[in-house]
Amino acid sequence: MILAAAHASQTTATFQRVAVIVIAVIVFALVFELVRRRALMERYALLWLFAAIVLVVLALWKGLLTDISGELGIYTPVNALFAAGFVFVVTLLLHFSLVISRLSEQSKMLAQRLALLDERVSETEAEGDMHEGQQSAVSKR
């Protein structure tokens, strides 16, 4: 009975490792396809490729997650994985918040510059119309 439970546990662990590797390969393929289609910029692709590499390394190196969680004082390796995932997501959110803030400021500046240029064009057109009006009045005499 104990042997059967140990064998089932080992089979489940092997299945989980294979599933993580398959998911990482899918992430690799998806990222490469998005970069190829120019839907994802290379600087963001590197971040996702790094995450997929970390997943593959953790799946292939059997005791690495256990060792890391033990060194960090985290009781179970799954909690260490969730903590790492949480830090990854918070880092992404912070990064994208910074990017959105910068783009928002650039957008505001561009809108202001466009309004100034539009005003200059309108003034130039109005001056041109006045100048043409004066010339046509002179030519009618």
> Are 40 and 28 contacting, i.e. CB atoms less than 8 angstroms apart?
no
* Angstrom distance (rounded) from CA 61 to CA 18: 12
pLDDT tens per residue across span 21-67: 898 899 889 999 999 999 988 888 888 888 888 888 888 887 888 88
The predicted structure's pLDDT at residue 113: 97
Predicted local distance difference test score (pLDDT) of residue 115: 96
Q: What local confidence, expressed as pLDDT, does residue 61 receive?
A: 83
Which residue is associated with the tokens 């970390």?
Answer: 54
Four-residue CA torsion sign, 2, 4, 9, 13: positive
Give the pTM.
Answer: 0.64
